[in-house]
Amino acid sequence: MKTATLICLFLLINLYVGLAQDDNSSPVKTQRRRMQNRHRRVSTKSSTGRELLINPSPIPVPAVNVPLLNADDTIVHILKAVLGVSEQAPSYSILPVKKGHCTVNGMVMYDKAVWSPKPCLTCMCSNGKAICDETACPPLTCPITVTYEGECCPVCSDIEPNDPSDLVLVKSTRTQEEMDELFRREEEEGHQEEDRMEAEDQQKKKKKERKLQKEKKRKQEVEARRAQEEEAERKLEERRKANEEEELRLEEEEQRKREEAKSKEEEDRREEKVNRLERERKQRERAERRQEEEEEEEEEEEDDILRGDVFRVPSRRFPQPSEILPPPLPPGCFISEITVSCTNAKLTQVPPISDLDLKSLDLLGNFITSIPNEAFNGMPNLERIDLSKNNITSSGIAPLAFKSLKNLKRLYLDGNVLDQIPPGLPSTLEELKLNENKLQGLDKESLQDLTHLVTLEMEDNQLSEANVSPLAFKPLQHLSYMRLGRNKFRTIPEGLPASIEELYIENNEIEEISETSFNRTTNLNTIILRHNKLQEDRIAPMAWILQENLESIDLSYNKFYHVPSYLPKSLVHLVLVGNQIERIPGYVFAHLTPGLEYLYLSFNKLDNDGIDPVSFHGAFHSLREIFLDHNELKSVPVGMEDMKDLHVLRLNNNKIRSVSPHCICRADDDEDSKMEHLHLENNYINTREISPYAFSCIRSYFSVILKPQKVK
């Protein structure tokens, strides 16, 4: 009974399940798609051995969706067109995880995901449903079509099959394992494609970074090269300026040395002439004395004969002083006529020399520290002594060391350690040099009795207006040449001798020139004041304007901003190199008589606005040389064409860009210019644009220097 009951219950449950399945098999609203007719495929082989799918005639098949049920009651729609061919439909196990997702062969497909489980079949997940569709092929009108293996759609062909019996239907069946392998390969290809694209992106990114780095490095190299070029150009300009300054200094020094050599040569010539006359006089005296002695001997012989003496004692002859051999000279010393030279002989004292005819003694560059009283007793006729570059101190010079030298005219004590003027100097001195010592001052007795002194040099010491007495130079009645450079003077020293003609007081700290600085020096001809701290407003208007013999002034390397006014009316030579001059005031040279001839304004800040048409008024007829190089001129200054006697004009190293036709040569002047040197190099001039008439008045084109020019 129980068994029958259980069987009935089981049958009821099966009936209920069947009814439920019939209800669920009602038409489901699905997406309709249009598909083209599935054609019956026939397989054949071409003459090349390739398998062909030939459809003799296309047969349209209606597309009908056939719903299938999974075990979990989800519906899979497979088009009827797919089921109509001789292919086995793949089995799908749809196990949705979330609403709208699809699960295919254990893989979760998101909503709207599209995949291809096999060739010519495309599936899409739509709201939890996997909808598959075969690739649509275009309709063909040709009688014979061919579908190649691995292709989806047929193509027209004119190949006739060999045997109708060879036409077979091609079934494309794939197992679940083949589909899984296909999915795996697609995933691997997708990952490989992503890796390849990512690698390409990384490579592009690295290439871009390398390009940016190269560009950055190139910019840095260009900037570094530009900085190096600018630095090299700056150093070259500084070196050029230093070379020009050095050339100017060497030229001035060479000129001074030539003048000194000339004066020394003339003096030596005079000395030689005097010495020759003295030797001739001495020879005459010696000859007369010998003649007198011979006459006396003859008279004695006559007396003896007259007395009848038979025996006569022979007369005794004593050697003359000139026949006595002098002591040998120390090693390193040489004698030449009337000069003994012991230069750099490593002597520690004055050598004991005895020679009455000796005129010059050279002891330069030894280790002498003292001079005793008897040092020159054997050389009483010395006229020149050079003791430069030794180690002589003031305390080491005895009070009577030079007193016996009655003919001494030149004494050189440069490069020692003297702190005061040596005492007891002979009054016959004409030249005294005490450069590069440690002189601490001059009192009124320091230069006493040196009334014949003509040249006095005391450069590179510790002298200043505070330790030099105004009466120190009073005994120097014939002094004409004085050098006081490289000391500590802040003003012009007072009490300069009235006889002075040349004053060198460069490399000091002079800041002003008062009205009384040169009121007694009426013979003054040359003043060298370069490398001081002078300004135009610190020069008194009456400081030197009335000087009638002052012809040369060197004010280089001071602090002038324009050419100073109230210049001496007799001025001929004016040097203002290396200042900050920006302007040449009008009529500043108008009062000069006979007129300025040499004007040097190199290395300043002059531009064309700082030069007026009347700046050179009064000097047009007299100027012979004008140096305006290394300034900021942008064109040839006005007035150059009116210079009647100009021989040298330097305009190099400015900012000149053009040369107008009449800035050097006047259009209405047919006479040749006296120009011998015209410098226009190192500007910005395009030489091809210069007018052919610009230098027509210059007799020789070799006088015009235009190259090199700077790059714009």
- Compute the radius of gyration of the chain from its Cα atoms: 61
512-541 average pLDDT score:
94
pLDDT value at 320 more than 60: no
In terms of average pLDDT, the best of 2-11, 67-76, 256-265, 553-562 is: 553-562
pLDDT value at 182 more than 80: no
pLDDT value at 138 more than 80: no
pLDDT value at 128 more than 80: no
Rounded to 5 degrees, φ, ψ at 212 are -65, -40
Q: What is the pLDDT of residue 37?
A: 39
227-233 average pLDDT score:
83
Across the beta sheet with 42-45, what order do the strands follow? 42-45, 51-55, 145-148, 155-156
Q: List C-alpha distances in Å: 645 to 356, 635, 672, 698.
A: 57, 21, 11, 13
Say which DSSP state 8 is in.
H
408-422 average pLDDT score:
95
Say which DSSP state 198 is in.
H
Q: What is the pLDDT of residue 259?
A: 81
Contacts of 156 (CB under 8 A, 6+ apart): 140, 142, 144, 145, 146
Closest CA relative to residue 490, chosen from 463, 516, 470: 463
How far is Cα 606 from Cα 28, in angstroms, rounded to an integer?
105
463-490 average pLDDT score:
94
pLDDT band at residue 59 using 50, 70 and 90 as cut-offs: very low
How far is Cα 563 from Cα 293, in angstroms, rounded to an integer?
77
DSSP string, 90-122: PP-----SSTT-EEETTEEE-TT-EEEEETTEE
pLDDT value at 124 more than 90: no
pLDDT value at 276 more than 90: no
Q: What is the pLDDT of residue 691?
A: 87
- Tell me the percentage of the chain whose pLDDT exceeds 90: 43
- Tell me the percentage of the chain whose pLDDT exceeds 70: 77
Instruction: Say whether 536 sits in a helix, a strand or coil.
Output: helix
Q: What is the pLDDT of residue 166?
A: 41
Fold of 333-438: 3.80.10
pLDDT value at 72 more than 60: no
pLDDT value at 170 more than 70: no
Q: What is the pLDDT of residue 670?
A: 73
Across the beta sheet with 65-69, what order do the strands follow? 65-69, 75-79, 129-134, 121-126, 114-118
Q: What is the pLDDT of residue 668?
A: 78
Mind listing the pLDDT tens digit for each residue in 642-699? 898 999 999 999 999 999 988 988 877 777 888 999 999 999 999 898 988 888 888 8
In terms of average pLDDT, the best of 243-247, 325-329, 530-534, 707-711 is: 530-534
pLDDT value at 326 more than 60: no
pLDDT value at 78 more than 50: no
Q: What is the pLDDT of residue 84?
A: 37
105, with CB counted inside 10 A (0-12, 13-18, 19+), is middle
Q: What angle do CA 434, 264, 437 make, to 5 degrees?
A: 10
pTM greater than 0.85: no
pLDDT value at 82 more than 50: no
258-281 average pLDDT score:
72
Closest CA relative to residue 103, chosen from 83, 123, 118, 78: 123
Closest CA relative to residue 515, chosen from 566, 480, 555: 566
Do 655 and 684 form a contact (C-beta atoms < 8 A)? yes
Mind listing the pLDDT tens digit for each residue in 610-646? 999 899 999 999 999 999 999 999 999 999 988 989 9
Q: What is the pLDDT of residue 81?
A: 35
243-262 average pLDDT score:
81
pLDDT band at residue 301 using 50, 70 and 90 as cut-offs: low
Name residue 35's amino acid.
Answer: M
How far is Cα 383 from Cα 360, in angstroms, rounded to an integer?
6
Do 396 and 420 form a contact (C-beta atoms < 8 A)? no
How far is Cα 540 from Cα 205, in angstroms, rounded to an integer?
78
Q: What is the pLDDT of residue 12?
A: 77
pLDDT value at 44 more than 50: no
Q: In b/e form, how buried is each residue of 435-464, taking b as 16+ CB within 10 angstroms?
A: bbbebebbeeebbeebebbbbbbbbbbebb
